[in-house]
Amino acid sequence: MSNEAILESLAEIEAAIESESSNQDLSRIFTRVSRRTPKIRFDHTRCSMGVGGSFLLVIFAFSLPWSGAALLLIPAVVIGGISGSLILSRDERLSRISKKLQALYEANLMQLEAEVFDPEDKANELGSNYFEFQRGDYSREVLSLHSGLSAGDTADIPYQVIQFHWVDMRIVTRVTTDEKGNRVEKEEEVFDHYYRTALLAEIDIQIDAYIQSYHCESMGVRWTTTSRRFNGIYKVHGESEIVLAKLLKPALVLLLEQLAAEYADLNFEFCPDGTMLISMRQTHLLDASVDIYLADAAQAAEQLMIAASQPKIQRILSVCDEVSRFSINELRRNS
């Protein structure tokens, strides 16, 4: 593979980075580049020979009289300098492009629109609609909120990723002894901190239903499915048995069982305003820890395509697709 082909590939990649292409577009570009240059590495053979030859000339020159040595030293230094500079400049360019590519990849992952808000006010606002955000008898705050749009199987799903923190305060009694050996009881305030991640999605049904595996509270009619496994994981309440029966079709029951094995302390709230809140123990849904390897174009294309699909978010939002696919028409008649 020639250095000219590598330079052509790098120029195409650089242009894509400068135009801030999406991860999907970057993946397509790397797929095309991989056909021309599967490995993006410069061949330094000639330059290395130039550096090595110059080094030998310098050594030989010092064995000659000064007049003869000068004639060899000048071209040796020039050839060696040019060859060495070319090697360094090529490697530096690869490093520079690789860093820019990684930065763009991570920026694309967080291409969700960040909302500016007061942490406590936003928590109170969400708490007026969702039980999840009513937790915390001492304090509660929304740490971050990003909005996005997911291309679901049945419809596009607007959603928000929310990081939430709340604090419970409890009074504990500490028993100690004073300097005279007398028993002394002292009450102290203890603060317990909790962190949760939530996805708030817009769906096309307006029902009142709660599927909870964490801190369950009784909210309406209690319902159980025919799945013992599901009933052991979740507690279900809602506006009526009819609505809950139509919501919890076998396909959705199976999916929620699977998600419970993947994410800790899952809760689902279906609200009359046509939204659904999916919450869990704090989870990093957007993984920016993957290193994109510029040297392997095919591997880079695959990594970028996987990342572009945001698999963790898509996995959780698959609940919306299941509801839309199997239950939405019946639930609409009951909304």
pLDDT per residue as tens digits for the range 57-84: 666 555 655 555 555 555 655 666 666 6
| One domain for residues 215 and 257 | yes
| One domain for residues 102 and 190 | no
Structural domains counted in the chain? 2
Which of 186 and 287 is assigned the larger pLDDT? 186
How far CA 160 is from CA of 72, 186, 221, 236, 253, in Å, comes to 69, 45, 29, 24, 24
| One domain for residues 172 and 57 | no
| One domain for residues 248 and 157 | yes
| One domain for residues 117 and 23 | no
Percent of the chain with pLDDT over 90: 24
Axis crossing angle, helix 23-36 with helix 3-18, rounded to the nearest 10: 170
Phi-psi region of 149 (alpha: psi -120 to 50; beta: other; left: phi over 0): beta
d(CA 256, CA 47): 60
Which of 10 and 42 is assigned the larger pLDDT? 10
| One domain for residues 188 and 240 | yes
For CA atoms 25, 27, 28, 34, the dihedral sign is positive
Residue 227: which pLDDT band, with cuts at 50, 70 and 90?
very high
Between CA 264 and CA 272, with CA 268 as vertex, the angle to 5 degrees is 165
Residue 152: which pLDDT band, with cuts at 50, 70 and 90?
low
| One domain for residues 64 and 136 | no
| One domain for residues 270 and 151 | yes
Lowest mean pLDDT among 28-42, 214-228, 244-258: 28-42
| One domain for residues 144 and 61 | no
Lowest mean pLDDT among 11-15, 92-96, 216-220, 279-283: 216-220
Residue 139 in this model has a pLDDT that exceeds 90: yes
pLDDT of residue 333: 47
| One domain for residues 84 and 121 | no
The last residue of one of the domains, among 109, 144, 167, is 109
pLDDT of residue 184: 84
Task: Establish how many alpha carbons lie within 13 A of residue 259's alpha carbon, considering only the half-sphere containing its beta carbon.
Answer: 27
| One domain for residues 149 and 11 | no
The last residue of one of the domains, among 109, 139, 170, is 109
The domain in which residue 92 lies consists of: 3-109
| One domain for residues 187 and 288 | yes
pLDDT tens per residue across span 261-316 = 989 999 999 998 889 999 998 777 765 556 676 777 777 777 777 666 667 777 88
The last residue of one of the domains, among 71, 92, 109, is 109
